[in-house]
A and B are shown apart, each in its own frame.
Chain A
């Protein structure tokens, strides 16, 4: 019996020399973050988390403030010369982290690397090519001016440009793609000190920083000495790290942990309206949901507000169309309302007086919410079984781009990082488009969406998207549910930082008391 205590004692003794808490300097701002960067190459990543980390080292021509307003960053100004031409005047005196000066040639090189086939060299095409839409060419028209020419009008170019970060032509050519993947040479407020892959990305202040966007105060070098993105994928562990004081900001705080963080003396909860719309696709090619009355019955069977209050802890905004209330073109829409009795009556009118039996596909992460929805549907006569599937498999099954599909309902979502309808409306509602999981086909809507995509008059465009929202609100191909808020746990020592709707964590202005 003595062996175990001895072993425990030995372990404890071994740990003794280090019972001093893990050292981190007073001016280290530490973010408990869900995912590590896959790469540090601004042209070769596909995840928002990777971009969040990269964005603290690299600046773009344009950026967004915390309220999602697009403002110039490296560009001094942007001028639309014609329907398809935009000029960007570059700010003087911006330096890369290696000390070299940034020029218009670097901007051209950066954008060419993304938009051209095989633009990254060695036959590699940037997976971010699609984010640049119909860009035809990028030319340096004056030593401080770059012109982007489009193949066709594309009004959301300014909204999409914050997704691109400027690299140094000379450095990329010297370092090669593999080097750019693990090192950095940006113009941003922080430079890379060390990347402990899978563990932490350690950044330190770049003292020669030009100051960042003039429209986002304060302008100047970053406040803290170091920023550390500490990778903690498990949400319970992220919360624990915040409560233990090991980290100062955590992302993706689960709704059920809000109380715990609020009750803790030194921490608080911060929220921001997100950009991801949740909805339930109803297979309009299937045996039940080809009937508008059955789709309307489903919409009336769900008490969205109850789920928002009880499961999402009040952190979501209900929607009656695809757009977030914050998106361009969003407007007040007719509201189906929660009415299970009317839903039953509609089902009976549709020829299903005894109700129907359906299956709802969902990814594991949203199983609880889907089950709450299913129980409401069941009470209204749409007897729903929840089937949990893996993301890629469900995407294959439902996003068939017009090919025949099986299944009844699909609880899913679509992100809208630009908050422009083009990014979410067209893919989810245009006939046979890539995110049209309901199999919805409405030529009139297609025409409106196509016209709105190239309409340069802002007010006309807004009206077009309102018309489009009215069409889908009437046809109800989906049950439009809600747009959840992004929830952060934040130490009260952090000042000068607020969460941003695009889920980025820009730490240039953040300070630590």
Chain B
């Protein structure tokens, strides 16, 4: 891929982000619920005090002016002050983001490492017992609510067997210097194997819960795509040539069969980052999903605005990565 193409992609990002900002801004303005009223709650307050609070939050300005100020500041990566945290939104998000990314990536690894081998084997042994079990399993994986499945895992592994923790990212006596914010990496950088193990233990249940639906989807996609590829002439030709079956499957068929899997995985990863709220709530995982949902209920406008922008950038980047992977898997595809 040329530098030109890369720049083109980055330039394309600008209207996307502007559009997303505008839509979120307008939607928030149209949604009932006044941030000042929510903040004041049941507190007795005089109209003058309410006006002062509104002014203090900058909500007494016209909407167009607020949007313009937001854009000007966002251009300098200043997303304003969170109504509830009293600190820059960027700081509040930055504290939570690594936990979400770490959990999502581990869930992605769990999903890929399970789904691709299962999908391939189900395709190779079509209609076998394995295939049927995998098909039913994938149906269950998509259908089981993460909320219920997560609680089930907690009851089994944390309450009854007591081998894994119910919630959190790491035990309280493990103090890890934050370098990357990813505990698996920071503990290794600190050379603290016990802390690494503790962080891993905390990750297992949430990562499985988060990764399960993705595993199911990717397994189905891989199986279907593998079956499709195995019917292609070049596979028949390779087999007719007398190449070992293993070589035909893994060198010729799998590479092409993985193209749709990669594409779906990229999109699903985006939803992992955005859709963590339930898993983060069940496992008390200190990530961004929970924070954003809380902020929506509280109409914490600056935080919602910045988080949605972040999600938009993430989606665009993941699609971009998927495109690049396409070209690697299939050189005939050009960006």
Give me the interface of A with B, judged by CB distance under 8 Å: 1, 3-4, 7, 11, 14-25, 28, 36, 38-39, 41, 44-47, 117-118, 123-125, 127-131, 133, 177-178, 181-182, 194, 196-200, 202, 226, 228, 230-234, 236-237, 240-241, 243-246, 390-393, 395-397, 399, 414-415, 422-424, 426-427, 434-435
Neighbour of B291 across the interface among A45, A118, A128, A198, CB < 8 A: A198
* Contacts between chains A and B (CB distance < 8 A), count: 211
Neighbour of A423 across the interface among B44, B84, B170, B197, CB < 8 A: B44
Asked whether B168 is an interface residue with its Cβ less than 8 Å from the other chain, the reply is: yes
List the B side residues contacting A19 at CB < 8 Å.
Answer: 163, 197, 201
Interface-central residue, A128, A181, A202, A427, by most chain B CB under 10 Å? A181
Q: Can you name 22 A-B pairs with beta carbons within 8 Å?
A: A4-B118, A23-B171, A28-B172, A39-B87, A41-B86, A46-B41, A46-B84, A117-B52, A118-B56, A178-B86, A178-B87, A181-B86, A198-B286, A198-B290, A199-B169, A240-B154, A244-B159, A245-B162, A390-B297, A391-B38, A392-B33, A427-B42
Q: How far is the CB of A323 from chain B (nearest CB, A)?
A: 15
Asked if A1 meets B130 with Cβ closer than 8 Å, knowing A17-B194, A19-B163, A240-B159, the reply is yes
Measured CA separation A129–B53 after assembly (Å): 9
Whether A228 lies near B172 (C-beta < 8 A) is yes
Whether A25 lies near B173 (C-beta < 8 A) is yes
Whether B56 lies near A393 (C-beta < 8 A) is no
**The 7 A-B residue pairs with the shortest CB-CB distance in the complex, in nearest-first order:** A18-B197, A198-B286, A392-B33, A130-B45, A22-B171, A3-B117, A17-B197
Asked whether B104 is an interface residue with its Cβ less than 8 Å from the other chain, the reply is: no
Task: Given contacts A18-B201, A21-B162, list 8 more A-B pairs with CB under 8 A.
Answer: A17-B197, A18-B196, A23-B198, A46-B40, A130-B43, A234-B147, A414-B42, A427-B42
List the B side residues contacting A232 at CB < 8 Å.
Answer: 166-167, 284
Contact size range, B:
35 or more
List the B side residues contacting A233 at CB < 8 Å.
Answer: 281, 284, 290
Neighbour of A127 across the interface among B32, B33, B40, B99, CB < 8 A: B40
Interface-central residue, A25, A244, A399, by most chain B CB under 10 Å? A244
Asked if A246 meets B40 with Cβ closer than 8 Å, knowing A22-B198, A198-B290, A234-B284, the reply is no
Neighbour of A237 across the interface among B39, B110, B151, CB < 8 A: B151
List the B side residues contacting A197 at CB < 8 Å.
Answer: 92, 95-96, 286
Whether B159 lies near A14 (C-beta < 8 A) is no
Measured CA separation A3–B112 after assembly (Å): 12
Q: How far is the CB of A498 from chain B (nearest CB, A)?
A: 25
Neighbour of A44 across the interface among B41, B86, B172, CB < 8 A: B86
Neighbour of A18 across the interface among B40, B49, B155, B198, CB < 8 A: B198
Measured CA separation A272–B32 after assembly (Å): 35
Beta-carbon contacts under 8 Å, B274-332 to A:
281-287, 290-291, 297, 299
